[in-house]
Structure 1
Amino acid sequence: MTMTQETEAVESQTDVLIIGAGPSGLMAAYWMAVCGVRARIIDKKGTKVFTGQADGLRPRTLELFDSMGFQHRVIHEGHVAVEANFWVPDENGKLTRQGPHCSPKINESNHYNMLLNQGRIERFVIDTIHKYSDLEVERGVIAESFEYDETLEDNPDAYPITVKLRTLSDEEANPAHLTTNGSGPPTAFTNGMGRGSLLPDDWEELIQKSRARQAKTEIVKAKYIIGCDGAHSWTRKQVNIPLEGSMTEHIWGVIDVVPLTNFPDIRRLGTITHSSGTILVIPRERRMVRLYVPVQIVDASTNGRFDRSTITLEMIKARVQAIMSPFTFDFQVCDWWTAYQVGQRVAPTFNKGTRIFLAGDAVHTHSPKVGLGMNMSMQDGFNIGWKVAMVAVGAANPAILNTYTAERHPLAEMLLEFDRLWSGEFTETSTNGTTKADKADRMVDVVESFMDFADGLKAYYPNSSLVWKVSEEEGPAAARNLIPGERIPPMKLRNQAEGNSKWTTRLFESDGPFRIIILAGDVRVEAQQERVAALARILEGEDKTKVSPLCRYMSIPGRESLIEIVTIHSAPWEEVEFFDFPEILRPFDPVMGWGYENIWCDASATWDPYCQGKGYEKWGVDRLRGAMLVLRPDQYIGWSGELEEVDDMTAYLDGVLIKVPTPEL
């Protein structure tokens, strides 16, 4: 038998099968690795993305990267884009700069908008996955058949999903994204980019892509499936979930080039407007610039679809030259280009029952010009990933899976509305063929009206078993700006024991546990000391009238407890000692010593201008009395209250986590 002959189908089981190793699939796979889930992730392409694709990174996504531990790599390689200039014709038709425009909420996060190609982000997530497990992407593998036994859905031990997988030959698995135009034989680069365009960690993978492959089929039984397989999602079609919406009439060209031009703002984020359309200019790493440009309008006789082969690189180049005139434009290096027709569509639901889930482009498609596609996809995968992982290992209540569509679908709707308004500004002209004079102002208005959503400053997650919001009848919240269903506004804190500062986005790692954040207030005050001590007695289990949430729940492999405590007090650090705090807040390990990383102080550091001791104020917390909250594994607040409200907090956790079985007498 030769290596390419098909062998007899084998059968196997896995708890979670992820189809598609793009941004959403890799984020979901990250949680499988963190939680020790028996999982598999397959992708039909023979390699990961190397060039092109998405490149915009929003602050909230970067905050999550920080919590995963690789944001420093993005900073090292990426391009920061915080200002935008808009070039529009004046009354004489001369292109003039309007701007720069900078977000009025630029300092609401410790991270700024950045630009770095999708391939590098995938590299970073894959490397991070390998820190936790040996989970590998199985490339060149497709799913060919699907069966789902709904009668087994409520049985946690059952494998109701059956999928037939097939390993592709080398020829079948060659990814189209390695070519400049999506056709022809696979070549990593053209137009002179060569080997130097890839960093060593990606180059090694490209070299290995042509290794011999053994064609085979496999029958896989799975408990859960997460479809992250793009706009033409095979998984979505198997469960008959439609994409609802429409295609726009405009065809867009995209090029990643090293530009040769006298346009002064080619290395600045912005737009250039002409009577026939608007170019979006996006500066990139390695001297590259990405340009989005409208190239033609779809002929009505084609039923709204276009022939991609009619669009050439020279055609896109000519359109850029025409719109940019009188400035010159040329290039010798083109890293990647493509043409696309915008489809603004969203699925009515992101799940089928509690076993089948869809994420990313599989459930929402839009124009790439808003710079949100990769962000939304990764946050989808991050959201459903931890939920499925914890349910799969028996640590969380399966009911939490019902929150996925409720949390992510409204954001997809916002994405499409943003895209409709933003994309319209790139094609709209006045009736006499000249661009409207207020173009720049209108574009700024669109951006600012969607800023909280687009940058992820607000998530808008609704009330659910995972989000306990405080009602008006219950009175003012103990932490006015720490709202369940939202993130914690990032602040830099000082470690009590060592004095070093750290951003909360890094302090609250995405490494599995739910965190009880005790904002201990001013512990110099005797009455406040007693409040904290009373809370500690409950957590320690010494107060028999209350139930401690510690050691009450099942955990994930590799962790003793799924609950971790972090204390942040507001007193001057010099007037408080680490050992003043109850031991339950600074646990002792006979090998690793005291939990120095568990006690933090909201105080200023003269040597760190970002550590100003203003966290309590930003969070809306009384510096004397403090507050308490539960942080979900995905860094969103689940519950908040007073230090005395342990029963309420435990009731929240009881609805989310699985209790440790009571020993039989």
Structure 2
Amino acid sequence: MAQNSTPQVDVLICGGGPVGLLLSYQLARMGIKAYAIEQHDKSTQAMYGRACVLYPRTMEMLDQLDLGETLEQIGFIGRSAVTYHDGKSIRGRGWGFISKPLDTFFDFCLNIRQKYSENVFRDAAKALGTVMHSNTKLIGFTVDDGQGEYKITAELQEEGGKARRVQSKYIIGADGGHSTVRTIADIPFQGNKVEEEAVMHWVRMDALVKTNMPGARLGFGAIESPRHGNVLWIAEDHGRTRIGFALPNEVYEKHGQHMTEEVVKAEAIIALAPFELELITVDWWSLYSIGHRVAKSFRTKERVLLAGDAGHTHSSGAAQGMNTGMHDAVNLGWKISGVLKGWFTDSVLETYSLERRAVAEQLIALDKTVSTLISGRLPPGYSGDAHKVLGDVLESSAQFTIGLGVHYEANTINKDSSVSAVEPGWRAPDVLVHRPGSKIPMRLHQVTKNHGKFWIVVFAGSPFRTRSKLSALREYLDDPQSFTARLTEAFSFITVIAGPGLQADEVLGVERFGDAFYDVDESAHVRYGIAADEGAVLILRPDGILGFAAGLHEGAKLAEYLEAFITRKSKKWE
């Protein structure tokens, strides 16, 4: 193939599921040229099924990427849960943790089948110029250790057997548990199937149903079955319901991989007892066994990265698969974009594998316990009733499960600080602020959208008491030697002023730091643990994680933090 017919792109994305599509959208949003491929023709695959729950933290991140509202118009808003044992309602078990108060304005789960979330991501990427090339298979790739920019040369096979070669600076494997990218890169996939005398087999189905179970359309349900484990019940989009249960061993031994829809439907009816169940239409069903695996690294040879199921696989017991994949995609999207744009050093991209693999290991450790309990069995080290133990485990791990408790250890972009009550590496709380003159509050996350830049948030405190510190900060930032003059424009400023005001510059006594907003009742300052007579400067990562905090008078510390990973200005991307 002639060299001039070989496309050269920044990133080759392998995989057209939600992770690959969300990455495609993010890269296009941030001005990065990507080539996205999907081995299968989505139009001929099962139209429904697979993942269906998006947790609160996932919704926060998608909203910061301007995708939340579209998804909310389609999915089912789930805020409540019911659990039944012998037909009687029991509190504090099953999905009861969903009903507890949450520190987020997205205090719900969005139950939306993967087909529809994929459609939203695909359309958003396409609107920005990135098209998913379906029926295109990755055959192989090589990594050139030479000096050229396009170090990846990939061999693709398109529909009809046509060969194509694509060169890229990076390749991302978002191609599922049987990842071709991971296999070719020879990245060990550590773990195995659940090792028990009786391997756990689960059934999942989406159906239009009729039932006399109270609360069937509240959002979530669990039926503690003596034969089918902890039966899953989720109200989905378009009036559908996701039903999941452990298949009794004797049923699997009788039918095995020759399981039929009629057998599965009959077992679902038994599983819901004593409630009645009529399956009007079954859109999709699946039988699978449980396995837990994690890639040794999510990045290798510097230019090869993994995301989603390509990097980690586990059960669907706590509905973590798509959520964890979304978190991978968001974490990776801004980092690889910033490196490609020349904003960040490679040390930022290096944190991707460190951060996300640690979360995957934590998830798998939890899922090994949860999946066993959902199957109606007790894991080693536990005693008592499996259903009650499951409720306790889900309750104790709720913050991690819904994503608000996911956090990262100290590294290049998470630097310890004692200025704020929120620790670096943790999610920045979504607090309310007001635009000048507006009586309608806005969320901080609405102001700090994810466009790949860091947000430097100047919590000004009460300006009448912090004016000297604000003056010192303004003087430092305006100095020609300040980091604002030396570093690439990988950050933006906003100011949050404690109390009401009329005109920000006049109230502050200095020129405002980016757009100004008012913390009218000082609740935002209180939530972050910032005294109104002290103020502080917080640096938020593009993904809404707190990276660093310093006092208003500590401009040099801000510079030290940013200069560790933000490059000096160049003409290429200005």
Which residue of 449, 452, 455 maps to 1:509?
449
Match in the other structure for 2:153: 162
Which residue of 366, 371, 374 maps to 1:423?
371
Match in the other structure for 1:288: 240
Match in the other structure for 1:521: 461
Partner deviation per Cα, 1:24-61 (whole Å, 9 max, x = no partner): 21222233112211221111122378422211111110
Change beyond 3 A, Cα 1:76–1:158: closer
Look up the SS of the partner of 1:286 in the other structure.
helix
Match in the other structure for 1:37: 32
Partner deviation per Cα, 1:145-202 (whole Å, 9 max, x = no partner): 21123x33xx5x5322111011124xxxxxxxxxxxxxxxxxxxxxxxxxxxxxxxxx
Contact 2:455 2:493 in 1 (8 A): yes
Could you list the runs of 4 or more consecutive aligned residues of structure 1 that deviate by over 6 angstroms after TM superposition? 6-9, 298-302
Change beyond 3 A, Cα 1:264–1:42: same
Cα RMSD between the aligned structures? 2.7
Partner deviation per Cα, 1:326-384 (whole Å, 9 max, x = no partner): 32212121122111111111112111032110010001111112111111001101111
Match in the other structure for 1:536: 474
The structural deviation recorded for 1:130 is: 4.6
Change beyond 3 A, Cα 1:640–1:567: same
Partner deviation per Cα, 1:496-516 (whole Å, 9 max, x = no partner): 243431112221101122111
The structural deviation recorded for 1:77 is: 2.2
Query: Which letter does structure 2 place at the counterpart of 1:258?
Result: L
Look up the SS of the partner of 1:585 in the other structure.
coil
Contact 1:293 1:316 in 2 (8 A): no
Where do 1:22-171 residues align within 5 Å? 22-47=17-42, 50-89=47-86, 95-99=87-91, 101-103=96-98, 106-111=101-106, 112-130=108-126, 133-149=128-144, 151-152=145-146, 155=147, 157-169=148-160
Q: Give the distance between the partners of 1:9 and 1:538, measured in 2 at CA.
A: 50
Change beyond 3 A, Cα 1:519–1:356: same
Which residue of 273, 277, 281 maps to 1:329?
277
Look up the SS of the partner of 2:388 in the other structure.
helix
Query: Which letter does structure 1 place at the counterpart of 2:125?
Result: I
Q: Give the distance between the partners of 2:441 and 2:154, measured in 1 at CA.
A: 49
Matched, 1:491 2:431: yes
Mind listing any 5+ residue stretches in structure 1 that lack a counterpart?
1-5, 90-94, 170-214, 431-435, 471-476, 555-560, 588-597, 605-612
Q: Give the distance between the partners of 1:614 and 1:107, measured in 2 at CA.
A: 17
Look up the SS of the partner of 1:236 in the other structure.
helix
Q: Give the distance between the partners of 2:239 and 2:323, measured in 1 at CA.
A: 23
Change beyond 3 A, Cα 1:105–1:491: farther
Contact 2:176 2:310 in 1 (8 A): yes
Match in the other structure for 1:277: 228
Contact 1:16 1:226 in 2 (8 A): yes
Contact 1:84 1:99 in 2 (8 A): no
Which residue of 333, 336, 341 maps to 1:388?
336
Look up the SS of the partner of 1:639 in the other structure.
strand
Q: Give the distance between the partners of 2:373 and 2:103, measured in 1 at CA.
A: 27
Q: Give the distance between the partners of 2:167 and 2:239, measured in 1 at CA.
A: 47
Which of 628-637 and 220-229 deviates more? 628-637
Which of 454-463 and 97-106 deviates more? 97-106
Query: Which letter does structure 2 place at the counterpart of 1:288?
Result: R
Match in the other structure for 1:182: none
Match in the other structure for 1:344: 292
Q: Give the distance between the partners of 1:637 and 1:63, measured in 2 at CA.
A: 15
Partner deviation per Cα, 1:635-656 (whole Å, 9 max, x = no partner): 2121111112211111211111
The structural deviation recorded for 1:10 is: 4.3
Match in the other structure for 1:178: none
Change beyond 3 A, Cα 1:104–1:661: same
Partner deviation per Cα, 1:555-589 (whole Å, 9 max, x = no partner): xxxxxx32210111112336x655434675366xx
Change beyond 3 A, Cα 1:29–1:552: farther
Which of 61-70 and 257-266 deviates more? 257-266
Mind listing any 5+ residue stretches in structure 2 that lack a counterpart?
none
Matched, 1:457 2:404: yes
Look up the SS of the partner of 1:223 in the other structure.
strand
Which residue of 315, 318, 332 maps to 1:367?
315
Contact 2:48 2:115 in 1 (8 A): yes
Look up the SS of the partner of 2:8 in the other structure.
strand
Query: Which letter does structure 2 place at the counterpart of 1:444?
Result: G
Contact 2:192 2:293 in 1 (8 A): yes
The structural deviation recorded for 1:658 is: 1.1
Query: Which letter does structure 2 place at the counterpart of 1:486?
Result: W
Match in the other structure for 2:192: 246
Match in the other structure for 1:580: 507
Contact 2:504 2:512 in 1 (8 A): no
Look up the SS of the partner of 1:462 in the other structure.
coil
The structural deviation recorded for 1:7 is: 12
Contact 2:463 2:507 in 1 (8 A): no
Where do 1:292-303 residues align within 5 Å? 292-297=244-249
Change beyond 3 A, Cα 1:277–1:9: farther
Partner deviation per Cα, 1:438-472 (whole Å, 9 max, x = no partner): 444322211122122112223331111111123xx
Matched, 1:479 2:420: yes
Change beyond 3 A, Cα 1:586–1:414: closer
Contact 2:97 2:394 in 1 (8 A): no
Partner deviation per Cα, 1:565-616 (whole Å, 9 max, x = no partner): 0111112336x655434675366xxxxxxxxxx1111125xxxxxxxx5222
Larger Rg computed on CA atoms:
1
Q: Give the distance between the partners of 2:491 and 2:509, measured in 1 at CA.
A: 17
Match in the other structure for 1:196: none
Match in the other structure for 1:548: 482
Q: Give the distance between the partners of 2:558 and 2:250, measured in 1 at CA.
A: 56
Look up the SS of the partner of 2:239 in the other structure.
coil
Change beyond 3 A, Cα 1:466–1:105: farther
TM-score between the two structures when normalised by the length of structure 2: 0.90
Q: How many residues align?
A: 555
Look up the SS of the partner of 1:370 in the other structure.
coil
Change beyond 3 A, Cα 1:301–1:428: closer
Match in the other structure for 1:646: 555
Q: Give the distance between the partners of 2:482 and 2:100, measured in 1 at CA.
A: 40
Match in the other structure for 1:179: none
Contact 1:9 1:216 in 2 (8 A): no
Match in the other structure for 1:318: 266
Contact 2:470 2:510 in 1 (8 A): no
The structural deviation recorded for 1:105 is: 5.4
Query: Which letter does structure 2 place at the counterpart of 1:570?
Result: A
Q: Give the distance between the partners of 2:424 and 2:395, measured in 1 at CA.
A: 24
TM-score between the two structures when normalised by the length of structure 1: 0.78
The structural deviation recorded for 1:300 is: 12
Q: Give the distance between the partners of 2:182 and 2:301, measured in 1 at CA.
A: 13
Contact 1:354 1:398 in 2 (8 A): no
Q: Give the distance between the partners of 2:26 and 2:361, measured in 1 at CA.
A: 26
Query: Which letter does structure 2 place at the counterpart of 1:478?
Result: V
Look up the SS of the partner of 1:638 in the other structure.
strand
**Amino-acid identity (%):** 26
Partner deviation per Cα, 1:111-141 (whole Å, 9 max, x = no partner): 122211122222222333355x311111121
Query: Which letter does structure 2 place at the counterpart of 1:580?
Result: V
Query: Which letter does structure 2 place at the counterpart of 1:274?
Result: S
Q: Give the distance between the partners of 1:51 and 1:88, measured in 2 at CA.
A: 30
Query: Which letter does structure 2 place at the counterpart of 1:316?
Result: V
Q: Give the distance between the partners of 1:80 and 1:478, measured in 2 at CA.
A: 37
Partner deviation per Cα, 1:236-287 (whole Å, 9 max, x = no partner): 0011112222223122111111112222232241211222122111111222
Query: Which letter does structure 2 place at the counterpart of 1:87?
Result: Y
Change beyond 3 A, Cα 1:514–1:582: farther
